[in-house]
Amino acid sequence: MVRAFVLFCVVFAWAPRTWAAPSVGVVVIGDKPVEATVAKSVDDWLGKHEFVAEHAALDKDGVATLANCLALADMACAHGVVEKRAKVETLVVLVAQTSGKKNRDVQLSAYWMSKYSDVVSLQRTCRSCSAMPPVIENLMTDLSKMVPAMTGKLDIKSTPPGLLAAVDGETVGVTPVVRDVTAGPHDVVITRDGKELDKRSVTVTAGETVPIVVTAPALPAPKPVLPKTVVVHRSRAVPLVVLGLGLATAGAGMYMYVEGGPTGKDFYYRDLRTPGIGVAAGGGVLAIVGTILLFRSGSTEVPVVAVTQESALFGWAGRF
């Protein structure tokens, strides 16, 4: 007898243990044409999030009483039914009401009820409803985010920080970032400059914080930016015009000076020497200004002026 007891203890200690997933009661209230679809969609969502759907959590009388409480919007009454008559600790109730015949609209009211917390509810309308399961899945996901006992956290960090993080296709920020998520599987993608660096599939348990650490490859060293040499080309048209005008004026003034004096042939003559000096001086000033402007424009050519008592010579000299 003692040996048999010892053998039982050894077998029990070494035998693999399996833990049953928590049960959640499911109650669907409403129109019969959509009742089966709603129930299956809720079952699928619960299974995806590692729960077991229990459809016998309330007897018929309890379901009827609960429906009356919800019709009166009396949450205290509904919570009392769950607390006293439900066979499980948590109950999910969906009320589906349809309207219309051709284009059927479905009004969905979802309730998350627990014996130890307040009732949480959410409503959605599926207009011209032809694909109800996606609507119910989104409704259940949003409802579960409102239940503290159903959420966990993702703690996303990276080296270096500042990478873009997305959870289930939705951008949540740059690393490091902490995100509240519903219990169940989630996909985490880390990107930089539009390029995917890492992708993780994790399963979050309610109340758990899942750390995700990503090490990104270092960025290549930036190429040195060489300063650009800007060459400014100044126009030489204006300096040439000024210089040419100055030389022409100076030449005219010198001609007036040379030819405007007495010739010995006529008793009377017009004196052009005095104004010729002024004209020549003015032309010289213009020539000097034109020369300065020409040098500032970068030209390597310079004017050459030679003046004698009987003639004047002007030209250009440059490097070849």
Domain-wise residue ranges, the chain: 21-146, 150-215, 237-317
The model's confidence at residue 117, banded by pLDDT at 50, 70 and 90, is confident
Q: How many CB atoms lie within 10 A of CB 101?
A: 6
The helix/strand/coil state of 40 is helix
Asked whether the CA dihedral 285, 287, 291, 293 is positive or negative, the reply is positive
Going by the DSSP 8-state scheme, the letter that residue 297 receives in this structure is T
The model's confidence at residue 297, banded by pLDDT at 50, 70 and 90, is low
The answer to which of 141-145, 260-264, 274-278, 286-290 has the lowest mean pLDDT is 260-264
Classify the phi-psi angles of 241: left when phi > 0, otherwise alpha if psi is within -120 to 50, otherwise beta. alpha
Given a cut of 80, is residue 290 above it in pLDDT? no
The strand pair at 23-30 and 90-99 is best described as parallel
Mean pLDDT of 115-141: 84
Written out in words, the top-level CATH class of the domain with range 21-146 is alpha beta
Given a cut of 50, is residue 18 above it in pLDDT? no
Measured in whole angstroms, how far is the alpha carbon of residue 10 from the centre of its chain?
60
Given a cut of 60, is residue 240 above it in pLDDT? yes
Q: Give domain 150-215's CATH superfamily.
A: Immunoglobulins (2.60.40.10)
Asked whether the CA dihedral 76, 81, 84, 88 is positive or negative, the reply is negative
Q: Is the pTM of this model over 0.75?
A: no
The model's confidence at residue 145, banded by pLDDT at 50, 70 and 90, is confident
pLDDT at 282: 79
Please tell me the distance from the alpha carbon of residue 190 to that of residue 201, in angstroms, as a whole number: 12
